Structure 1
Amino acid sequence: MPFDPNTTKPEIDFPGDTPPAELLIEDITEGEGRAAEAGDTVKAHYVGVAWSTGEEFDASWNRGAPLDFQVGVGQVIQGWDQGIVGMKPGGRRKLTIPPELGYGARGAGGAIGPNETLIFVVDLVSTAKPGAGSAFGLR
């Protein structure tokens, strides 16, 4: 099942207990087609929530456009680089990311505090192999 353009922004429930020490990957919907691999260029919609507050700090849905990035090359936090691998287009995945795979002790501006565990629900819109990026205007 490819990404459904009628898919709506997910809600994230506040966990309220002790955050995990490792990256947690939970498939909500599996998707279909070729799974994303390191080096692929992907488009993904997401919602991000801080574990400590349950407050949303960012969402591509609010901007009306998915995020484009290359997996595994450091364009996004490590938790995303690791957590997107294996996703298929049309899939929805929850990533619970410990601080060392997120923004660490520095945090990110006023939105994400130091040593914050992050929760993302990610919808994979599409994936393309390196060199096949012309669909995204990339080479």
Structure 2
Amino acid sequence: MRRAAPFVVLALLAACGVACSGGGLPDGLKVNGDIGKQPTVTIPGSSPDAKLAVKTLHTGKGSKVANGDLVVANYVGYRWNGGDHKLIASSYDSGQPAMFPYGHLVPGLNKALAGQRPGGRVMAVIPPGQGYGANGYAPMQIGAKDSLVFVLDVVAAYPNGASAQGRPQPQSDARLPRVSAGATPTMKVPHVRPPARLQVRTIVQGTGKPVQARQLVVFHDLGQIWRNGKVFESSRDRGHPDSVVVGARQMIAGWDRAVVGKPVGSRVLVVVPPGQGYGAKGHAASGIASKDTLAFAIDILAAY
């Protein structure tokens, strides 16, 4: 399924988990500014060394970041190669935090986020060997010898076990799939002709604010093909919640439209006809044939 992958460029290399080494920050590297606001980072004119350096600048509260978490954080990122440094990425430019699937990031970022708590701030100097390696990353002008400097303010962390929270709603239409209201939803598609129009039903009524178009939404979803009941989409099976900017055509139209206006904490059943899904072309890689109708159970975990 077409999806957003915020900051996906940092998720291209395999993680090394807690086996990575870290140390103190280099002399002259400084951070000023309040948490939650864009920090001012002073980078010295000297060259960075080849060691990963991680320092928690402020300790947050709540549960520590763990495997399977989708971490929400505001950040600034610089490249640094001695005598030259440049801001290459910032969540403050978009006005929305970024999403970091912990355990699926470049090794240095995984190490930096390990054990952090919401409300905390961490700084990391990531050498090439624990960043993009000898190839660098040309789209962000990161060279083979560039280190990365990141300051991350952790906003929240959503574990793989997160789910909808609210009041279960009656499901009385036997012509639509039945979705369980438990922590891990199941969905049973009926053996009837699928509806011709988009269908949206609330399975669990959340108590949060309604999702607005262009917000960054944290979610879990389960997607099945109506024709055969095959599961073709499961964020839980991937190991962590997912995220998307709704109303920005990052998802198929039916999925996108169904989420806007629903309260955070809700679980929503969405039946998507082909015209608002993959249409006549289908999606062969997912087993979706020409003109297949799709059914989704979507847990709306947060919106930013």
Per-residue displacement from partner, 1:75-105 (whole Å, max 9, x unpaired)? 0000011100122221100000000000111
Where does residue 123 of structure 1 map in the other structure? 299
Q: After the TM superposition, which of the residue ranges 28-37 and 44-53 deviates more from structure 2?
A: 28-37
Distance in 1 (alpha carbons) for counterparts of 2:162 and 2:288: 30
Where does structure 1 lack aligned partners over 5 or more consecutive residues?
A: 129-139
Shift of 1:6: 5.2
SS at match of 1:72: coil
Q: State the TM-score, normalizing by the size of structure 1.
A: 0.85
Distance in 2 (alpha carbons) for counterparts of 1:63 and 1:92: 19
Identity of aligned residues (%): 34
8 Å CA contact 2:210–2:264 kept in 1: the answer is yes
Distance in 1 (alpha carbons) for counterparts of 2:264 and 2:213: 15
8 Å CA contact 2:200–2:268 kept in 1: the answer is yes
Higher relative contact order (CA 8 A, sep 6+): 1
Could you tell me which amino acid in structure 1 is paired with residue 207 of structure 2? E
Distance in 1 (alpha carbons) for counterparts of 2:162 and 2:234: 17
Could you tell me which amino acid in structure 2 is paired with residue 27 of structure 1? T
How many aligned positions are there? Answer: 126
Asked if residue 10 in structure 1 is aligned to residue 185 in structure 2, the reply is: yes
Asked if residue 55 in structure 1 is aligned to residue 241 in structure 2, the reply is: no
Distance in 2 (alpha carbons) for counterparts of 1:127 and 1:6: 14
Alignment of 1:76-87 (within 5 A): 76-87=251-262
Asked if residue 88 in structure 1 is aligned to residue 263 in structure 2, the reply is: yes
8 Å CA contact 2:162–2:301 kept in 1: the answer is no
Distance in 2 (alpha carbons) for counterparts of 1:6 and 1:69: 17
Where does residue 24 of structure 1 map in the other structure? 199
2:289 pairs, out of 88, 95, 113, with 113
Q: Give every structure 1 segment of 4 or more consecutive aligned residues whose post-TM-superposition deviation is greater than 6 Å.
A: none
Shift of 1:117: 0.2
Where does residue 134 of structure 1 map in the other structure? none
Distance in 2 (alpha carbons) for counterparts of 1:29 and 1:14: 18
Shift of 1:9: 2.4
- Alpha carbon RMSD of aligned pairs, Å? 1.6
SS at match of 1:30: strand
Q: State the TM-score, normalizing by the size of structure 2.
A: 0.40
8 Å CA contact 1:9–1:47 kept in 2: the answer is no
8 Å CA contact 1:48–1:118 kept in 2: the answer is yes
Distance in 2 (alpha carbons) for counterparts of 1:28 and 1:55: 21
Distance in 1 (alpha carbons) for counterparts of 2:227 and 2:203: 22
Kindly name which structure, 1 or 2, has the bigger radius of gyration based on alpha carbons. 2
Distance in 2 (alpha carbons) for counterparts of 1:79 and 1:34: 21
Where does residue 278 of structure 2 map in the other structure? 103
